Structure 1
């Protein structure tokens, strides 16, 4: 749906007048900076080195990190979920779950236990929120992963609800190794490239760095204040 902008010219002219200048009639030229230190950080790091950096950072953000491959992913995911006490589980609706051999998860047929699993369904409206609220584990997939800060980047859409990552008691992010970049510099560049290539960019992009935490009260860090109390990143070696 396309919206309509009302009184745009009057509004912009009033701002320009308040700034003591006339309206700009042409586009703004991007400045060319002489120094771009943000591009130099970790620029020569290999994928394996980025994984090591991510692993070190996860220790600082109270997040567990497990490394596996696509073949062993079902077993690894099952173990992490079991360590969190099992279900209920809520997940995105994403074809990559099947690609990685996780059909038993979606069919509730994991070995040794019957887990209650709910897959996001945009046609069910508020029921999705209710299921996420009662879930013990939320599982999503990272689209980009920032090694420097230990941050996973999630793109929301109709099949990938935002609440899957922050309403359940615990959170698991599946992190393809190919998604790991040095820092937010590269993530912002990739988002810009998506836009300029004509591809749809998610209306909501979430940057999540481990479990929720706050140090607002007397600078004492408390983990698990307003979201998952524990988080695990499962790095999938897809290179």
Structure 2
């Protein structure tokens, strides 16, 4: 018996069951709307849909190339509050030497994969801007998928007043259906947490008064890199 089976067996007996129940059969859907939506759109069309809907939900959008990414970040940072910047410890940003090049825009802190978790969070809490690379993006809802890992903790994009998501064009998919299929296919290699983020943090009370920034960034920027 595997460790997983032993764990489930313990729970099963605690619930008064003599044997572990078999998993139910997968549902057979009569319709396939969840896979049909936007399925015939080209990557260029999906990118346009993603950018357009990003604007609808209050996100600033930019398109650039890999070679021009640092220059675009410079321009995007001018629309954010002046202050410290925390960026992900990401291979793309290392390759482009983004931290070094952006140093003149503010005090830079690269999320330290081997450093103190507390120091990373403290810096993110005080930072004006967080910069991270999205794992995937969904055109239908302008949602980005983030993987929290040693080089990019959740606080990096949650605590700063502004967050910039860098999105390679190649990872834009139609909708949540494809994103969840990706997650399912990589279920044994997932990080400690994954997060689906759609625009700035916002909430409404019973009187429908909308407040932005209560649970996260007030200002969000999507930068699509068109040649990666």
The two structures have a TM-score, normalised by structure 1, of 0.85
Q: Greater shift after overlay, 114-123 or 147-156?
A: 114-123
1:210 aligned residue: 199
- Cα offset for 1:30? 2.2
- Partner in structure 2 of residue 191 of structure 1: 183
Cα separation, 1, equivalents of 2:210 and 2:66 = 36
| 3-state SS of paired residue (1:218) | coil
The change in CA–CA distance for 1:27 and 1:222 in structure 2 (over 3 A counts) is closer
Tell me by how many angstroms 1:28 deviates: 3.6
Deviation at 1:92, TM superposition (A): 1.2
| Structure 1 Cα separation of the partners of residues 10 and 67 of structure 2 | 60
Asked if residue 9 in structure 1 is aligned to residue 6 in structure 2, the reply is no
Which aligned runs of 4 or more in structure 1 are off by greater than 6 angstroms? Answer: 3-7
Q: For 2:226 and 2:181, locate their aligned partners in 1 and report how far apart those are by CA, in whole Å.
A: 23
Cα separation, 2, equivalents of 1:24 and 1:131 = 47
Q: CA deviation at 1:136?
A: 0.5
Deviations 1:62-111 (A, max 9, x none): 10111111111111011101221443100111111133x2x1x322x448
Question: Structure 2-normalised TM-score?
Answer: 0.89
Aligned to 2:216: 227
Q: Is the 8 A contact 2:134 2:145 kept in 1?
A: yes
Contact 2:70–2:102 (CA under 8 A) maintained in structure 1? no
* Contact 1:172 1:233 (8 Å CA) reproduced: yes
- Where 1:93 maps in the other structure, the secondary structure is coil
User: Displacement, 1:7?
Assistant: 7.0
Gaps of 5+ in 2: none
Asked whether the equivalents of residues 170 and 228 of structure 1 are also in contact (C-alpha less than 8 Å), the reply is yes
Figure out how many residues of one structure are paired with residues of the other and give that number: 225
SS in 2 for 1:160: coil
Counterpart in the other structure of 1:95? 91
2:48 pairs with 1:52: yes
What is the Cα deviation at residue 222 of structure 1?
Answer: 1.5
RMSD: 2.3
Q: Identify which range, 84-93 or 68-77, moves more after superposition.
A: 84-93
User: Offset of 1:192 from its aligned partner?
Assistant: 1.0
Q: What aligned pairs does 1:1-239 form with structure 2 within 5 A after superposition? A: 8-13=8-13, 15=15, 23=19, 26-99=22-95, 101=96, 103=97, 105-107=98-100, 109-110=101-102, 113=104, 115-122=106-113, 123-195=115-187, 200-238=189-227
Aligned-partner Cα distance in 1 for 2:75–2:195: 26
What is the Cα deviation at residue 10 of structure 1?
5.0
